[in-house]
Amino acid sequence: MTPGTNSSGLVQKSFSSASYVPPSRNDWDLLFQSMFNKLLNPPPSVDNQASEVIDPIAEVIDPIAEVIPQVD
């Protein structure tokens, strides 16, 4: 089919005669298999626990008093 003009002067688009074939179940499985494998079988998690605990600061110093000299 070749493009032609209709009565309004617009060119009509020609369409392919090949019909649309939707993806098969196997196509979808291959496409999403990797994603679902990672979701359903995650790799073993890494243990991120701290090997050393930092002691809390015993004394809190007022940062403003240390930086700006006090004028009496």
Segments in the chain forming alpha helices (H) = 25-40, 63-67
Contact of 8 with 20, CB cutoff 8 Å: no
What local confidence, expressed as pLDDT, does residue 6 receive? 65
- How far is it, in rounded angstroms, from Cα 18 to Cα 23? 15
Predicted confidence band at 5 (pLDDT cuts at 50, 70, 90)? low
Given this model, what pLDDT does residue 13 score?
A: 74
d(CA 32, CA 25): 11
In this predicted structure, the answer to whether residue 42 has a pLDDT above a threshold of 90 is no
